[in-house]
Amino acid sequence: MTALPPALPDWPAALDAALLAAGRHPDPFAVLGPHATAGGRWVAAFDPGAGRLWAVTAAAAHALAPVAGAPGVFAGPVGEGPYLIRGEGGGRGWEHEDPYRFGPVIGELDEHLLAEGTHLALWRVLGAHPRRHESVAGTHFAVWAPNARRVSVVGPFNGWDGRRHPMRARGATGVWEIFLPGIGEGVPYKYEIVAADGATLPLKADPAGFGAEHPPATASVIRDLAGYGWKDAGWMAGRAARNAREAPITIYEVHAGSWRRRGGEGNRPLSWREAARELVAYAAGLGFTHLELMPVAEHPFDGSWGYQPVGLYAPSSRFGPPHEFRDLVDAAHAAGLGVILDWVPGHFPADAHGLACFDGSHLYEHADPREGFHPDWNTLIYNLGRREVKNFLLANALYWLEEYHADGLRVDAVASMLYRDYSRPEGEWVPNIHGGRENLEAIAFLREVNRTVYGRCPGVMTIAEESTAFPGVSRPVHAGGLGFGYKWNMGWMNDTLGYIRRDPVHRRHHHHAMTFGTTYAHSENFVLPISHDEVVHGKGSMLAKMPGPPWERFANLRAYYGFMWGHPGKKLLFMGQEFGQPGEWDHTAELDWAAAALPLHGGIARLVGDLNRLYRATPALHARDCEAEGFRWLEANAAELSVYAWLRLGAPGDAPVAVVCNFTPLARDWQVGLPLPGRWREAINTDAEVYGGANRGNRGGVTATPAPHHGQPFSARLTLPPLATLIFVHQPT
**Same domain flag for 268 and 404:** yes
Residue 721: give its domain's CATH number: 2.60.40.1180
In a domain, 503, yes or no: no
Give the three-class secondary structure for 409. strand
**For the chain, how many residues are written?**
733
In a domain, 333, yes or no: yes
**Same domain flag for 480 and 365:** yes
**Same domain flag for 303 and 417:** yes
Query: Which residues pair with residue 139 across a beta bridge?
Result: 130, 180
Structure confidence at residue 186 as a pLDDT band (50, 70, 90): very high
Q: Indicate whether 284 pLDDT > 50.
A: yes
**Same domain flag for 362 and 422:** yes
User: What's the pLDDT at 9?
Assistant: 47
Structure confidence at residue 11 as a pLDDT band (50, 70, 90): confident
User: What's the pLDDT at 5?
Assistant: 52
**Same domain flag for 87 and 155:** no
- Tens digit of pLDDT for each residue in 463-472? 999 999 899 9
User: What's the pLDDT at 6?
Assistant: 52
The C-alpha atoms of residue 404 and residue 197 are separated, in whole angstroms, by 40
Share the mean pLDDT of the chain: 95
**Same domain flag for 269 and 393:** yes
Q: Indicate whether 732 pLDDT > 90.
A: no
Question: Concatenated DSSP letters for 568-590?
Answer: SSEEEEETTTTTT-SSPP-TTS-
Q: Please name the residue ranges forming H helices in 485-525.
A: 490-500
Question: Concatenated DSSP letters for 324-352?
Answer: HHHHHHHHHHHTT-EEEEEE--S-B---T
Task: Give the residue from 370, 481, 511, 509 showing the smallest Cα distance to 432.
Answer: 370
**Same domain flag for 97 and 114:** no
**Same domain flag for 68 and 146:** no
Most confident of 34-48, 371-385, 564-578: 564-578
- Tens digit of pLDDT for each residue in 489-500? 999 999 999 999
**Same domain flag for 212 and 160:** yes
User: What's the pLDDT at 2?
Assistant: 46
Q: What's 436's DSSP letter?
A: -
Q: Is there a contact between 564 and 235 (Cβ–Cβ < 8 Å)?
A: no
CB count in 10 Å sphere of residue 81: 10
User: What's the pLDDT at 247?
Assistant: 98
What sign does the CA torsion over 173, 179, 184, 188 have? Answer: negative
The last residue of one of the domains, among 221, 249, 264, is: 221
Q: What percent of the chain has pLDDT over 70?
A: 99
User: What's the pLDDT at 1?
Assistant: 43
Question: Concatenated DSSP letters for 179-222?
Answer: EEET--TT-EEEEEEE-TTSPBPPPB--TT-S-BPPTT---EE-
Which residues are identified as catalytic? 412, 465
- Tens digit of pLDDT for each residue in 152-164? 999 999 999 999 9
Residue 95: give its domain's CATH number: 2.60.40.10
Where in the sequence is the domain holding 703, given as residue range(s)? 628-730
Which residues are CB-neighbours of 10 under 8 A, at least 6 positions away? Answer: 38
In one-letter notation, the amino acid at residue 378 is N
The last residue of one of the domains, among 59, 74, 101, is: 101
Average pLDDT score over residue span 179-208: 97
CB count in 10 Å sphere of residue 522: 18
Lowest mean pLDDT among 25-39, 138-152, 182-196, 401-415: 25-39
Q: Indicate whether 39 pLDDT > 90.
A: no
Number of structural domains the chain divides into:
4
**Same domain flag for 269 and 314:** yes
- Tens digit of pLDDT for each residue in 121-160? 999 999 999 999 999 999 999 999 999 999 999 999 999 9
